[in-house]
Amino acid sequence: MTKPPRKQASSLGTDLQLAANALRLKRLGIDTHQEAVIYMREDSPICRAEGFAGQTRIRVENAAGKVLVATLNLVTTELLARGEAGLSEMAWSSLDARENDLIRVSHPRPVESLGHLRSKIFGEGLNEQNLTAIVTDIRAGRYSDIELSAFVTACTAHALDLEETVAMTKAMVASGEKLDWGHRPIVDKHCVGGLPGNRTTPIVVAIATAAGLTMPKTSSRAITSPAGTADVMETLAPVALDLATMRRVVNDVGGCIAWGGSVNLSPVDDVLIRVERALNIDGDGQLVASVLSKKVAAGSSHLVLDIPVGPTAKVRDVAHAKRLSQRLSSVSAVVGLNVRIRLTDGQQPVGHGIGPALEARDILAVLQRKPSAPSDLEERALQLAGDLLELSGTAADGAGTVMARGILDDGRAWQSFESICEAQGGMRAPPVAAQRHPVFASRNGFLTGIDNRRLAKIAKLAGAPFEPAAGLDLHLRIGSRVSTEAPLFTLHAQSIGERDYALEYLETQPNIFTIEDEACPR
């Protein structure tokens, strides 16, 4: 083959002002969610010279040599002057851009890992090298939303096997920061979500740190649920801690409850979670890789896992729970984590509140030993805290829960929790929703079943987790006597639009609550 003519790459980053294909940035202030988008005039000479056209991905480089790949949106009006380009807010901040900065645009190299993605779509397996290439390209922002969606979908359609899950976990760890605390044990807990209100983490962290353990807890925001632990905790204290702050907090008070995304642990996970949330899917392999990569990156050595099992929880039956446990144990062993897995009752929501602020209120009630504290939330937290005390060698086998209860009862846990909130930036009161609407049962009887999924959907339609005060407050539990005179639950929303939106959906779903003549007909 002939040599290609002079490579364009040679002048990159050196004399950008003089280089061809330079454009001046104008801040349009368009937030496209996490997709990097570049806005260019349709009639710009660069578009013509480079042959940029619809659906094109563009390589953008600034004067400091920082590079990203963005999707091209063409502008047909005077929104941009000649010689100007805009960036979506995500692209703007990832280039640390300022008004009138010069950038240079060019064709990106073909993203080779898209070939692996296509293989996966057609059902071929991915090895560690393939997955590392994919994760590296996602990390570098080289995947468009369409490509990210295809990756998430393909990994759900052809579930990641053990080897792929291990490789994905390692690749995700390698793509971000990894913490080293200089000592062991570093304890952690995680709930494989899906059960509304199951917000034991802040209580477990409070107990564990009060017992002298180090627990630098990072949590996700909600994927497909009305609240993630980070969303709940954020109503009580800042959670978007940078790495330095997180280190300081943990050194000072023994633990933290931070949002994983802002400390840059496993950053690819946050990109995938955004797409998983949009699609409302969350396959086992991705789930394991997501959970364990965060733990390894956080420097954890000992991990307790809570898997709620119930007909409308994320894990619907014991067979699935066992497969998932097996996968979690196998991958943990390979990546060097000690785990204990507990299957818990996933029949109905835990506590009263569903939604960030309402769940935070329940947590405070438990820690402050209020009579209104939901006992199911308390019991679950004590059990998991006990497991952690035993797994880490702090309590003898079988004595963990009793030790945990002592720490909760004598106020040390609450004290610990207050210290953590203060260290994270100051404790605050969870917000209360502007709209509160009681919902009544259509008949008298006994509550014999709750559809967690559709109940969670009501909370989401009411605005959770984006509106932290939104969600719902359950007044009854399975086995309770139900009357048409007392509300089943109270819907909380910040706006009338959201309240009505949730209520309209509720109207079409008469069977979220099963009400029968006998308390336990089966």
**Around 347, how many Cα atoms within 13 Å sit in the side-chain half-sphere?**
10
Q: Is residue 227 a contact partner of residue 465, using CB atoms and an 8 Å limit?
A: yes
Does residue 42 interact with a second copy by CB under 8 A? yes
Residue of the chain from 12, 19, 63, 75 that contacts a second copy (CB under 8 A): 75
Does residue 65 interact with a second copy by CB under 8 A? no
Q: How far is the CB of 209 from a second copy (least distance, A)?
A: 33
Cβ burial of 314 (10 Å; 0-12, 13-18, 19+) is: buried
Residue of the chain from 64, 79, 432, 486 that contacts a second copy (CB under 8 A): 79
The one-letter code for the residue type at 159 is A
CA 38 to chain centre: 27
Residue of the chain from 244, 510, 518, 520 that contacts a second copy (CB under 8 A): 510
Phi-psi region of 55 (alpha: psi -120 to 50; beta: other; left: phi over 0): left
Of 59 and 405, the one with the shorter C-beta distance to a second copy is: 59
Q: How far is the CB of 509 from a second copy (least distance, A)?
A: 8
Residue of the chain from 140, 281, 334, 478 that contacts a second copy (CB under 8 A): 281
Residue of the chain from 16, 22, 25, 114 that contacts a second copy (CB under 8 A): 114
CB neighbourhood size of 128 (10 A): 14
Of 224 and 245, the one with the shorter C-beta distance to a second copy is: 224
Does residue 74 interact with a second copy by CB under 8 A? yes
Token pair of 7 as six digits = 């490579």
Does residue 81 interact with a second copy by CB under 8 A? no
CB neighbourhood size of 224 (10 A): 20
The one-letter code for the residue type at 455 is L
Q: What is the DSSP letter of 322?
A: H
Of 393 and 440, the one with the shorter C-beta distance to a second copy is: 440
Token pair of 381 as six digits = 């937290």
- Between residue 241 and residue 280, which ones bind a second copy under the rule CB under 8 A? 274-275, 277-280
**CA-to-CA distance for 308 and 328, rounded, in angstroms?**
14
Does residue 514 interact with a second copy by CB under 8 A? no
**CA-to-CA distance for 345 and 206, rounded, in angstroms?**
23
Residue of the chain from 24, 50, 451, 514 that contacts a second copy (CB under 8 A): 50
Does residue 217 interact with a second copy by CB under 8 A? no
Of 52 and 417, the one with the shorter C-beta distance to a second copy is: 52
- Between residue 431 and residue 470, which ones bind a second copy under the rule CB under 8 A? 437-442, 461, 463, 466-467, 470
The one-letter code for the residue type at 285 is G
Q: How far is the CB of 184 from a second copy (least distance, A)?
A: 39
Does residue 506 interact with a second copy by CB under 8 A? yes
**CA-to-CA distance for 157 and 152, rounded, in angstroms?**
9
451 counts as catalytic: no
Residue of the chain from 51, 212, 336, 398 that contacts a second copy (CB under 8 A): 51
Q: How far is the CB of 145 from a second copy (least distance, A)?
A: 5
Query: x/- contact string, 473-502, with a second copy (CB under 8 A)?
Result: --------------------xxxxxxxxx-
Among residues 145, 231, 269, 282, the one annotated as catalytic is 282
Helix residue spans in 75-161 (DSSP H): 89-94, 113-121, 128-139, 145-157
Q: What is the dihedral of CA 42, 44, 45, 51, to 10 degrees?
A: -30
Residue of the chain from 48, 82, 98, 184 that contacts a second copy (CB under 8 A): 48
- Between residue 115 and residue 174, which ones bind a second copy under the rule CB under 8 A? 118, 121-123, 144-150, 152-154, 156-158
Residue of the chain from 483, 503, 514, 516 that contacts a second copy (CB under 8 A): 503
Q: Which stretch binds a second copy (CB under 8 A): 44-52, 230-238, 367-375, 381-389?
A: 44-52
* φ, ψ (nearest 5 deg) of residue 487: -65, 145
Does residue 107 interact with a second copy by CB under 8 A? yes
Residue of the chain from 17, 55, 375, 485 that contacts a second copy (CB under 8 A): 55
For tokens 């100007």, the residue is 84
Of 272 and 404, the one with the shorter C-beta distance to a second copy is: 272
Q: Which stretch binds a second copy (CB under 8 A): 285-293, 298-306, 338-346, 504-512?
A: 504-512
Q: How many residues bind a second copy (CB under 8 A)?
A: 86
Dihedral sign, Cα of residue 14, residue 17, residue 22, residue 23 = positive
Q: Is the bond preceding residue 465 a cis peptide, omega within 30 degrees?
A: yes
Q: With H, G, I as helix, E, B as strand and everything else as coil, classify residue 188.
A: strand
Alpha-carbon distances, residue 362 vs 145, 348, 396, 414 (angstroms): 37, 16, 30, 13
Q: What is the DSSP letter of 430?
A: P
Residues whose CB is less than 8 angstroms from the CB of residue 9 and which lie 6 or more positions away in sequence, other chains included: none
Residue of the chain from 39, 259, 414, 417 that contacts a second copy (CB under 8 A): 39
Does residue 82 interact with a second copy by CB under 8 A? no
Does residue 505 interact with a second copy by CB under 8 A? yes
Residue of the chain from 27, 320, 322, 475 that contacts a second copy (CB under 8 A): 27
Q: How far is the CB of 245 from a second copy (least distance, A)?
A: 24
- DSSP secondary structure, 445-513, as one string: EEEEEE-HHHHHHHHHHTTTTTSTT-EEEE---TT-EE-TTSEEEEEEESSHHHHHHHHHHHHT-TTSE
Does residue 28 interact with a second copy by CB under 8 A? yes
List active site positions: 282
